[in-house]
Amino acid sequence: MNVNQSAPPVPPFGQPQPVYPGYHQSSYGGQPGSTAAPTPYGAYNGPVPGYQQTPPPGVSRAPASSGAPPASTAQGPCGQTAYGQFGQGDVQNGPSSGVQMQRLPGSQPFASAPLAPVVSQPAVLQPYGPPPTSAQVTAQLAGMQISGAVAPAPPASGLGYGSPTSLASASGSFPNSGLYGSYPQGQAPPLGQGHPGAQPPQRSVPPQASSFTPPASGGPRMPSMTGPLLPGQSFGGPPVSQPNHVSSPPPQALPPGTQMTGPPGPPPPMHSSQQPGYQLQQNGSFGPARGPQSNYGSPYPGAATFGSQPGPPQPLPPKRLDPDAIPSPQLNELPPQQKTRHRIDPDAIPSPIQVIEDDRNNRGSEPFVTGVRGQVPPLVTTNFLVKDQGNASPRYIRCTSYNIPCTSDMAKQAQVPLAAVIKPLARLPPEEASPYVVDHGESGPLRCNRCKAYMCPFMQFVEGGRRFQCCFCSCINDVPPQYFQHLDHTGKRVDAYDRPELSLGSYEFLATVDYCKNNKFPIPPAFIFMIDVSYNAVRSGLVRLLCEELKSLLDFLPREGGAEESAIRVGFVTYNKVLHFYNVKSSLAQPQMMVVSDVGDMFVPLLDGFLVNVSESRAVITSLLDQIPEMFADTRETETVFAPVVQAGMEALKAAECAGKLFLFHTSLPIAEAPGKLKNRDDRKLINTDKEKTLFQPQSGAYQTLAKECVAQGCCVDLFLFPNQYVDVATLSVVPQLTGGSVYKYACFQVENDQERFLSDLRRDVQKVVGFDAVMRVRTSTGIRAVDFFGAFYMSNTTDVELAGLDGDKTVTVEFKHDDRLNEENGALLQCALLYTSCAGQRRLRIHNLALNCCTQLADLYRNCETDTLINYMAKFAYRGVLSSPVKTVRDTLITQCAQILACYRKNCASPSSAGQLILPECMKLLPVYLNCVLKSEVLQPGAEVTTDDRAYVRQLVTSMDVAETNVFFYPRLLPLTKSPIENTTEPPAVRASEERLSNGDIYLLENGLNLFLWVGASVQQGVVQSLFGVSSFSQITSGLSVLPVLDNLLSKKVRGLIDSLRAQRSRYMKLIVVKQEDKLEMLFKHFLVEDKSLSGGASYVDFLCHMHKEIRQLLS
Amino acid sequence: MATYLEFIQQNEERDGVRFSWNVWPSSRLEATRMVVPLACLLTPLKERPDLPPVQYEPVLCSRPTCKAILNPLCQVDYRAKLWACNFCFQRNQFPPAYAGISEVNQPAELMPQFSTIEYVIQRGAPSPLIFLYVVDTCLEDDDLQALKESLQMSLSLLPPDALVGLITFGRMVQVHELSCEGISKSYVFRGTKDLTAKQIQDMLGLTKPAMPVQPMRPAQPQERPSVSSRFLQPIHKIDMNLTDLLGELQRDPWPVPQGKRPLRSTGVALSIAVGLLEGTFPNTGARIMLFTGGPPTQGPGMVVGDELKVPIRSWHDIEKDNARFMKKATKHYEMLANRTAANGHCIDIYACALDQTGLLEMKCCPNLTGGYMVMGDSFNTSLFKQTFQRIFSKDFNGNFRMAFGATLEVKTSRELKVAGAIGPCVSLNVKGPCVSENELGVGGTSQWKICGLDPTTTLGIYFEVVNQHNAPIPQGGRGAIQFVTHYQHSSTQRRIRVTTVARNWADVQSQLKHIEAAFDQEAAAVLMARLGVFRAETEEGPDVLRWLDRQLIRLCQKFGQYNKEDPMSFRLSDSFSLYPQFMFHLRRSPFLQVFNNSPDESSYYRHHFARQDLTQSLIMIQPILYSYSFHGPPEPVLLDSSSILADRILLMDTFFQIVIYLGETIAQWRKAGYQDMPEYENFKHLLQAPLDDAQEILQARFPMPRLDFFCPK
């Protein structure tokens, strides 16, 4: 993992420091075995330059975040103002920082020192290496962080970066690179340090439990946690795993080291300050640098020390993590100089890429079996198979934590939101069976008499099987005679494995008529296509394109099971400022158009012939679709209406007494005189004021009322927008949002450019399986209760989530709160029941059950958290918050909550360590980086180029995203295309989203689920340009190109194949944009490099980490 | 008095005018004592095959308040080329075109036989006739089918350049666009919402030249035609389209739950039709033809709710003030009728249903606009089919027997004023010197608008003698009246028909006999009946009857000869002898009696009574009963059960119904089949005779009467 990262640096560094290479190699070599390090390295090497850059940022932040004061004092000695800043960063390390500062001054010293450390580290690492494989690695993470603390290396880089010091100055960093050349040597030592930093590899070790303890690793002090083993492991780990993390830099030992060191040399001062502050351990060992410092400290003093250190560390190992913290003080004392290094090494801080890679490697290979209560599933980014053995697959439900505090006090203390992200109709990979349908005949599904929970595997059968006790409310119910079955000796029903509802986590019941509206079995749903035919729509070619597409698309309406033909009926409406309905009854010779101009009081002008079966009316429909573009070809009407259109669709469904979906294709702000008329209220001046929230609120309540009516009718609305200017997405999306629909937006739609994207989205949207007229209810065991819901739906009371429509992409996030005690023995159960009408008009109940553990120790909670889910929840929470609070408040709340979560961990779970050390729980070590991404997203921190509509659009998109989507949305995937050999057909490993990771000789793909960029470095080989773009030089590549030419060569095929496969993974088609380095489009692209400081003021990862550390320290003090 | 009868008949044939008095009492006081007002029945467009229209424009009196038209009664000074207006005595110069005028070279309008003359006006572009079908689709399938066929058939009867439009309604109202290729297009309106004319025009896109769906090439000069043409198209262009469209018409698709009436938006449909024409072709001859198969059940103009268990209002309900919707609905339709009349369009109602359809509320539409009202049981009857077909019948010149947008102006000489008119007309509110302050019928004006009329349309026009008792008119003095009717002929020409009549004045004191002898009791009966029916629309039935009785008594008092206390001595002169009988029948006629008639039927009868000519009106008042037997030629017999004899066949014509009644013996013979035996051919002829006569009546009458055949078992 980290290794990879580290690798990149290699090239530059490599040269400089021959020695390191050796280390790295050796260490890596070992590592590879343990982890998949080898390949990564290669990749990393490339990146190196990037690394250099990164350091600087870290540095800069450090200063800011860290409590300058202490540092300053320390720095004082140093006398360097620059350090002063760093010192702040160090503040945590307070002392250390000072030390570092000092060090900086003596860059040379470092050099020497570094060397020593390096050596020491390697040793350490090796030891770890072996263990790393074990879970302890995680523990080591802490160590890693520490190693991060090692950051000292960064100092080196820092030096280089030094110039870049400022966050923004990534470029600045480059210059440093030049410096590096020189530094390298000096750096050499740093490298060593880097390694220490590398130790972070411990993270790789990640193995859960260990992770915590390992912290000690950072500081040999950790020992306590990991115990002796840990140390050993950690050490070993570090070498291997750490290398990955921290080492990544180190792996290429040289490079990383170089970076680290190199920079350190010059910038050291800078770095020192910052880095020291942050030693990233899993447990937030940022500040912790101390661990290393301590080590260093000793080392610094004398080379011997280093040597000694290694020694000591080993003994210490167990406590490591803490040690770091603790040591820091010592360090401070000892090596003010050393501390100078304290700037943060970007490679030392927790890397999402590394975590993802590790999880893939560790958990991707074997199926996830859901039989055991409270298991944390693999990450969403990992490919794994699920075997349902009694709990719902993580594809259906993911929780923020799989171990819930028993009491609300604990929960409050931890501040970890208890939430489940539920995707009731999630699509499963073909290898996994979709839920079995259980038919209980006329009696319907068996339920608890009191709480109405549905029969599930957790129900306890008693009295020989004659009764069962509800697992949610403990009520004893009689088993109806037809359901009776004997129990075996374990108290299990003999037929448990024959009945899905007794053995599986997810299954479906056929609903009886009692579950239907008006006590009538539903009529199959209908799709109504409502097409804007105003001037804009016609001119852009949309109408023609759409009509053409519909002709074939209608053959692919969703159908159920093996049905030959879809039961869904279709209807057509066109509109501008009046509506045109079409009668396409099969008996007609030609379609009939009915114009309704009374938009003030909408109604449906026809009944018979509006909704028809596609195959029966094919001729008439085709004729209609042929004629629509002709009829309106010369239209001059520019005004449109909106609310009446939705109402018309809803009324049509009402008249037909069925549920259904409206597909609305709309182009402009509805300014025609009609209900729901909108005015242009886009006002950028409101941004960052208390009134900013109005930009997200609908203009009038009329749309909510309308949506409510739609929901009552089971009318889901999908909205396709094609705006040329402001259309007030915030208002228009209210109806889709509340009816469980989707919004698609194609700004400045042009057939030539956007056809592919639109058609692809449309096809997918039309074809996807949808449930209609759904009600979702989440039941929980006594003790907790679902209290809050996020997503695209409507709620008329506090418990029932009403969804006019629900498809496989839509997610509902549910938050739970305690209302009583839970107990460890019983755990906590969730049952999500979704009553819906299938595409064929069958009324069904889909049940998902999930059992969670309960804990009385906070540590258990932190050990079983899932950061991705947590971010999903927090993003949704924040995005809802902007409707009612100023954005700044929302951001502050997020930061505070995050700080509280981490502080609570630090206080209650982490072994004691110095306050200056940032210690993060293994499971949440990515929380800061992800949270920073959320904070920087266009909704919470808009850049100048982000329109109000874009923000509203993203806001509502995120509201129903699942965990995988939010994950990639907030932290985009950046894939190098030219690093791995062309023949290698697997997806290249991602790199961190930072400009530093880009090499100008390479090509990268970046995707976040909505956007897809192809970044071309300025000095990419001509051959590559030729084979990918079909032009002879970089300068001839068209900037903004959206389609790659189809060329018959390996690279072209591979890249296009990769793009296709990326698109296939996402629920929306991502339009490709080719961005050339140094081109003006690059600004757009850089926005997605989320680890960097953003132009709109978003903090870089390192800065944010510093800030977070500061917050935590404030909370702790 | 043969001479007077001849005179009257002559006058009627020439001028289409019948006065109640053909010699006029010369003072106001005397006139009022005559009981029956001085009035006339005027058939403005009476068919005159012998009267070719002249192709020039009339010469008008130059006095602005007069503007009477040169007529045979004017004094002409051929030498000075001057003429004196006989109404205001203004002396006028002939226009230059009349320079060649002389005693031997008179223009037609000066010849006595041209007391009625028709001018064709050449000015102005002719505007096409417009037929807008407004069709109810809440019909039973076979009814709808029959209606569709009738409508399709009618397309072939329309003048080829006529514009046609189609509006269908049920729960919704659809205005069909007729010029579409490949897709049929219609504008749909909610049937429950009352829309203003402006809203309707907005929604139909009639207010703006650029329609959303209208192809917009650079400013087209003919924008307007193209706009309106979307809904109203020349029949020759869209014949096929419209035929197909009618063929595809389906029953209103909205489900009608058990126990409910279909929702029928007649009020809105009519309102839209009116608004459409108003916006596109104001003051152009147009017929809105409403075909409905039931009462309006929703929206403005609804007559009854959709609950079947609540029956439609009856006279009983109305008397009890229990008809919830009546007033509102009536108001709605009156508003529409007035707007329509103002635009010169007319509304026909063809209502075919077993139950009432709301004619009571809707009657004003045809009544005020000169439209037809036809009531039948089903569209699938020959009664409707033939009646409908007859609307498009043509005269000897091949012109349709219909005219549009007429204004009737009445000018009188100084001794007279016009008090009002009763007929299918509305007041144009033109005050003038000849307008009386007393109103009889629609008064207070000297001009009326008759939006739709045919050759039989007849108005009752009432006058007041204003000459004071102390200003006697010299012996031999004549009073003159001029009727000027501007109208749009079915050939789309504008025409003016001028009828100038004069009658002698007579002093009641000295010349009562003359006056008596010149009494036209038939005309008088009809004119009084019109007054009575007109009152009945607004007053309680008994009051009207009392008034009629009082008038009759006063008349008898004035003109009867009798000895006090001796009923047997009562005598009326021949010219009055039938009058009491007419009044007797009138009293018990459905025009004044509502017993056993639904409100719709009453409205229907009254509608027709107010527009038929004298002969038909008399038949309505007093049905004709003919007897056929071997004892002699057919003869009229008394309207009495005593007329029923076993060996007679009776033929009764009540205008609305023709009944043939076979006497008992005749029926037995017929049953025995004698008519088929050659030796009894005379019996066959006897059976056939009343049928032939009935057929003759059926052929001529509009609306087609119902033919019933009774024979005792």
DSSP string, B263-320: P--HHHHHHHHHHHHHHH-TTS-EEEEEEESS---SSTT--S-SBTTSPPP-HHHHHT
Q: Determine the Cα–Cα distance for residues A3 and A125; give it in Å rounded to an integer.
A: 13
Residues 6 or more apart whose Cβ sits within 8 Å of residue A352: A926, A929, A930, A971, A992
Q: Decide if A595 and B172 are in contact by the 8 Å CB cutoff.
A: no
A609 Cβ under 8 Å from any chain B Cβ: yes
pLDDT of residue A608: 85
Chain B nearest-CA distance from A608, in A, is: 6
pLDDT of residue B271: 94
Using DSSP, state whether B709 is helix, strand or coil. strand
Chain A residues inside the 8 Å CB shell of B201: none
Chain B nearest-CA distance from A982, in A, is: 56
Q: Decide if B188 and A588 are in contact by the 8 Å CB cutoff.
A: no
pLDDT of residue A996: 87
pLDDT of residue B576: 92
Q: Decide if B193 and A606 are in contact by the 8 Å CB cutoff.
A: no
Q: Which long-range contacts (CB under 8 A, 24 or more apart) does B541-545 make?
A: B541/B592, B541/B593, B541/B594, B544/B592, B545/B587, B545/B592
Q: Are A55 and A268 in contact (CB under 8 A)?
A: no
Q: Determine the Cα–Cα distance for residues B163 and B286; give it in Å rounded to an integer.
A: 9
- Residue B600's φ and ψ, nearest 5 degrees, are -65, -45
Instruction: Write down the H helix ranges in B539-613.
Output: 541-559, 579-587, 599-609
Q: Decide if B212 and A601 are in contact by the 8 Å CB cutoff.
A: no
**Which band of pLDDT confidence, cut at 50, 70 and 90, is reported for residue A152?**
very low
What is the enclosing helix (H) or strand (E) of A538?
helix A535-539
Let me know how many helices (H) and strands (E) chain A has, helices first: 43, 28
Using DSSP, state whether B78 is helix, strand or coil. coil
Does B192 score more than 60 pLDDT? yes
Chain A CA closest to residue B203: A597
CA proximity to B268, closest of B186, B330, B190:
B190
- What percent of chain B has pLDDT above 90? 60
pLDDT of residue B228: 54
Each residue's pLDDT tens digit, A79-110: 343 333 333 333 333 333 333 333 333 333 33
Q: Decide if A636 and B216 are in contact by the 8 Å CB cutoff.
A: yes
A619 Cβ under 8 Å from any chain B Cβ: no
| Domain A972-1089 grouped into CATH 3.30.70.360 | no
Does A5 score more than 70 pLDDT? no
Chain B nearest-CA distance from A699, in A, is: 27
Question: Over chain A, what is the mean pLDDT?
Answer: 74
**What ipTM score was computed for the predicted complex, to two decimals?**
0.85
Chain B CA closest to residue A605: B188
Chain B residues inside the 8 Å CB shell of A608: 250, 253
Q: Decide if A592 and B185 are in contact by the 8 Å CB cutoff.
A: yes
For chain A, the structural domain boundaries read 347-443+505-521+769-854, 444-504, 526-767, 866-971, 972-1089
User: Domain A526-767: which CATH class?
Assistant: alpha beta
What is the enclosing helix (H) or strand (E) of A929?
helix A927-936
Distance set, CA A401 to CA A370, A526, A871, B707 (Å): 15, 40, 12, 92
Using DSSP, state whether B163 is helix, strand or coil. strand
Using DSSP, state whether A564 is helix, strand or coil. coil
Chain B CA closest to residue A594: B186
Instruction: Kindly calculate the radius of gyration of chain A based on its CA atoms and give it in whole angstroms.
Output: 30
Chain A CA closest to residue B190: A603
Chain B residues inside the 8 Å CB shell of A601: 190, 193
Instruction: Write down the H helix ranges in A129-253.
Output: 136-150, 153-162, 170-198, 208-212, 229-242
Helix/strand/coil (H/E/C) assignment for every residue in A465-476: HCEEECCCCCCE
Higher pLDDT, A218 or A505: A505
When pLDDT is averaged across residues B511-516 and rounded to a whole number, the result is 88
Q: Tell me which residue in B183, B190, B212 faces A578 most closely, judged by beta carbons.
A: B212
Q: Determine the Cα–Cα distance for residues B171 and B191; give it in Å rounded to an integer.
A: 6
Q: Tell me which residue in A597, A627, A633 faces B183 most closely, judged by beta carbons.
A: A627
Q: Which residues on adjacent β-strands are paired with residue A469?
A: A460, A476
Let me know how many helices (H) and strands (E) chain B has, helices first: 20, 29
Each residue's pLDDT tens digit, A24-59: 333 333 333 333 333 333 333 333 333 333 333 333
Chain A residues inside the 8 Å CB shell of B203: 578, 597-598
A605 Cβ under 8 Å from any chain B Cβ: yes
Number of inter-chain CB pairs under 8 A, A vs B: 83
Q: Decide if A606 and B253 are in contact by the 8 Å CB cutoff.
A: yes
The per-residue b/e assignment along A964-986, b for 16 or more CB within 10 angstroms, e otherwise, is: bbbbbbbbbbbbbbbbbeeeeee
Each residue's pLDDT tens digit, B119-165: 999 887 778 889 999 999 999 999 999 999 999 999 999 888 889 99
Chain A CA closest to residue B187: A595
Q: Decide if A578 and B189 are in contact by the 8 Å CB cutoff.
A: no
pLDDT of residue B713: 63
When pLDDT is averaged across residues B366-385 and rounded to a whole number, the result is 93
Each residue's pLDDT tens digit, B413-468: 989 999 999 999 999 999 988 999 999 999 999 999 999 999 999 999 999 999 88
Mutation site, B171, B188, B202, interface A, largest A CB count within 10 A: B188
Lowest mean per-residue pLDDT among A175-179, A918-922, B588-592: A175-179
Q: Tell me which residue in A578, A591, A596 faces B183 most closely, judged by beta carbons.
A: A591
Question: Over chain B, what is the mean pLDDT?
Answer: 89
- Highest average pLDDT, of A20-29, A340-349, B693-702, comes from B693-702
Does A268 score more than 50 pLDDT? no
Q: Determine the Cα–Cα distance for residues B408 and B446; give it in Å rounded to an integer.
A: 8
pLDDT of residue A980: 78
When pLDDT is averaged across residues A488-495 and rounded to a whole number, the result is 89
When pLDDT is averaged across residues A361-368 and rounded to a whole number, the result is 90
Q: Are B275 and B309 in contact (CB under 8 A)?
A: no
Q: Tell me which residue in A593, A601, A633 faces B190 most closely, judged by beta carbons.
A: A601
Chain B nearest-CA distance from A737, in A, is: 30
Chain A residues inside the 8 Å CB shell of B189: 596-598
Q: Decide if B184 and A598 are in contact by the 8 Å CB cutoff.
A: no
Chain B residues inside the 8 Å CB shell of A598: 189-190, 193, 195, 203
Q: Tell me which residue in A590, A598, A635 faces B184 most closely, judged by beta carbons.
A: A590
Chain A nearest-CA distance from B323, in A, is: 29
**Which band of pLDDT confidence, cut at 50, 70 and 90, is reported for residue A915?**
confident
The per-residue b/e assignment along B410-427, b for 16 or more CB within 10 angstroms, e otherwise, is: bbbbebbbbbbbbbbbbb
pTM of the complete model? 0.78
Q: Any idea what DSSP says for residue B474?
A: P
Does A916 score more than 90 pLDDT? no
Chain A nearest-CA distance from B339, in A, is: 22
A110 Cβ under 8 Å from any chain B Cβ: no
Q: Distance from CA of residue A991 to its chain's centroid?
A: 15
CATH number of A444-504: 2.30.30.380
Question: How is domain A347-443+505-521+769-854 classified at the CATH fold level?
Answer: Immunoglobulin-like (2.60.40)
Q: Which two tokens stand for residue B277?
A: 């024409």
Q: Which residues of B touch A (CB under 8 A)?
A: 172, 174, 180, 182-190, 193, 195, 202-205, 210, 212-213, 215-217, 244, 248, 250, 253-255
pLDDT of residue B241: 87
**Amino acid identity of B139?**
L
Q: Are A733 and A709 in contact (CB under 8 A)?
A: no
Residues 6 or more apart whose Cβ sits within 8 Å of residue A675: A599, A600, A602, A643, A644, A647, A702
Q: Determine the Cα–Cα distance for residues A57 and A845; give it in Å rounded to an integer.
A: 53
| Domain A866-971 grouped into CATH 3.30.70.260 | no
Mutation site, A584, A590, A597, interface B, largest B CB count within 10 A: A597
Does A590 score more than 70 pLDDT? yes
- What percent of chain A has pLDDT above 90? 50
Q: Tell me which residue in A588, A594, A603 faces B190 most closely, judged by beta carbons.
A: A603
A705 Cβ under 8 Å from any chain B Cβ: no
Higher pLDDT, A73 or A815: A815
Does B17 score more than 90 pLDDT? yes
Q: Compute how many other C-beta atoms are within 10 angstroms of the C-beta atom of residue B28.
A: 17
Q: Which residue has the tokens 């070498």?
A: A239
Residues 6 or more apart whose Cβ sits within 8 Å of residue B550: none
Q: Compute how many other C-beta atoms are within 10 angstroms of the C-beta atom of residue A175.
A: 18
Q: Determine the Cα–Cα distance for residues A84 and A78; give it in Å rounded to an integer.
A: 8
Q: Decide if B212 and A624 are in contact by the 8 Å CB cutoff.
A: no
